[in-house]
Amino acid sequence: MFTVLSSDGTSVACERYGGSGPAPVLVGGTLMPRARHTPLALALSQDFTVHNYDRGGRGDSGDHPRYDVRREIDDLDALIEHVGGPVLRLTVGLAMTLPGQTHDGGCVPPPAPVSAR
């Protein structure tokens, strides 16, 4: 596990799986810690360097006393800046990854589909 700091100082906890190929960031659902997506991260790690993180207030990540979706975007931006990977949305819980929702007005495209094994 490693951590990065978002612009408001929140610590964002993340685990890296694999070590070759594109480096997607898994964005889990609203109430899910990263552990929920470990099986998927492990499966994808055969073809990708997967980053599976805890959103603010979940698992090992820090929290802020007042919730604001912009803080979640800051956390995600900090992680993407650190690992350089695209975003892979796992649920509708993170509509903030849609185009126009990030601070720079864009969204990194998802990685190419993994071929069936």
> Which amino acid is present at 88?
L
Q: Which percentage of the chain shows pLDDT scores above 70?
A: 75
Q: Which two tokens stand for residue 3?
A: 């951590």
Instruction: Give the pTM.
Output: 0.75
Residue 13 bridge partners (DSSP): 3
Q: To which residue do tokens 């993180």 refer? A: 53
Q: Are 22 and 49 in contact (CB under 8 A)?
A: yes
For the chain, domains (ranges, CATH) are 2-97 (3.40.50.1820)
Q: What is the pLDDT of residues 19-69, one digit of tens each?
A: 888 888 888 877 889 999 899 899 999 999 999 999 999 999 999 888 888
The least confident of 31-40, 45-54, 71-80, 104-113 is 104-113
